[in-house]
Amino acid sequence: MELIWFAVFAVLLAGYFALEGFDLGVGLLLPVLGKKRDDRDRMVAAIAPYVLANEVWLVAVAGTLFGVYPMLEGELLPALYPLVVAMLLAWILRDAGLWFRRRTGGPRWRAFWDGMIVLGSLWLSFGWGLVLYAAATGFSGPLMHPLGLLLGAAVTALFAWHGRVFLGWRLPGFAGPARTGKALLISAAVAALPALVLLGGAMPHLLDHSAPTATLNVLGLMVLPFAPIMLGAQLWIWRTFRPGKGADRNPSFF
């Protein structure tokens, strides 16, 4: 069961990076590709059908982490408490920007919330790089180590590239040449690569810190039956909102 749950955790974390990565990447690109208000509206509309579904993966990652690896909670939270709080605030601000930016028509109002989308996306992307570095060093070193900062910048750059590929797939011709579904899969795999490399190196440590087998069996009976529902919902969303299926139907969140 330890190996099965490790595989589940790896799929969830890699899936979060691959899916939420393009959401954050599009947010990072707002000031670059969204010079006009209509362009920013189109960019936000492009990710609108996917945002909430992608964030479910983060909830699943957190639930699996504390359910399957409860002994790591004592290491992770004290070491990363300021960073986790900052990332939660960034998550709230990014989502608030997505929901509030069109509540009134004033240019200052929109500019403020567009800025929150950019800042929230930037800090979440950069913060994930810091989290990966902290995990790779056993939560024992300083968060702002040069290597941690470099990894944060690398993850941010990967997400931005992934977001641009997504826009090329979702809005052909908007952000350069049109992208195929295969190109999007490749960018998703590359965006998930840092998480997969970390998990590969941390595998022995995670297996040693797994919950007792009896606990894992109970978790399997309670959680795993819902996995097909989660995957089915994801497939439905991607099939329903593929290119040509209402990419510009709604200019923003409502």
DSSP output for 52-74: HHHHHHHHHHHHHHHHH-GGGHH
Range 46-50 average pLDDT: 91
End-to-end CA distance of the chain: 43
pLDDT reported for residue 237:
87
Q: What is the three-class DSSP state of 103? A: coil
Mean pLDDT for all residues in the chain: 86
The listed range with the strongest mean pLDDT (56-60, 211-215, 244-248) is 56-60
Q: Please give the distance of CA 56 from its chain centroid, rounded to a whole number.
A: 10
Q: What is the pLDDT of residue 32?
A: 92
Tens-digit pLDDT profile for residues 13-43: 999 999 999 999 999 999 999 888 889 999 9
pLDDT band at residue 133 using 50, 70 and 90 as cut-offs: confident
Q: Which pair of structure tokens corresponds to residue 169?
A: 């797939």
Whether 127 contacts 86, CB under 8 Å: yes
Average the pLDDT over 189-195 and give the result. Answer: 94
Domain spans in the chain, listed from the N-terminal domain onward? 2-240
Q: What is the pLDDT of residues 136-173, one digit of tens each?
A: 877 777 778 888 899 999 999 999 999 999 999 999 88
Handedness of CA 190, 192, 198, 203 (dihedral sign): negative
Tokens for 106, please give them: 């004033």
Alpha helix (H) residue ranges in the chain: 2-33, 37-47, 51-68, 73-100, 107-136, 146-170, 181-208, 213-223, 227-240
| Amino acid type, 115 | G
Q: Which of 114, 97, 124 is nearest to 25 (CA)?
A: 124
Tell whether the model's pLDDT for residue 251 goes beyond 50.
no
Q: Using CB atoms within 10 Å of the CB of residue 116, give its burial: 0 to 12 exposed, 13 to 18 middle, 19+ buried.
A: buried
What pLDDT score was predicted for residue 34?
87
Q: Name the token pair of 48.
A: 């609108």
pTM over 0.85: yes
From the list 72, 102, 77, 101, the residue with the least C-alpha distance to 87 is 77
162, 22 contact by CB (below 8 A): yes
Region 187-201: what's the mean pLDDT? 91
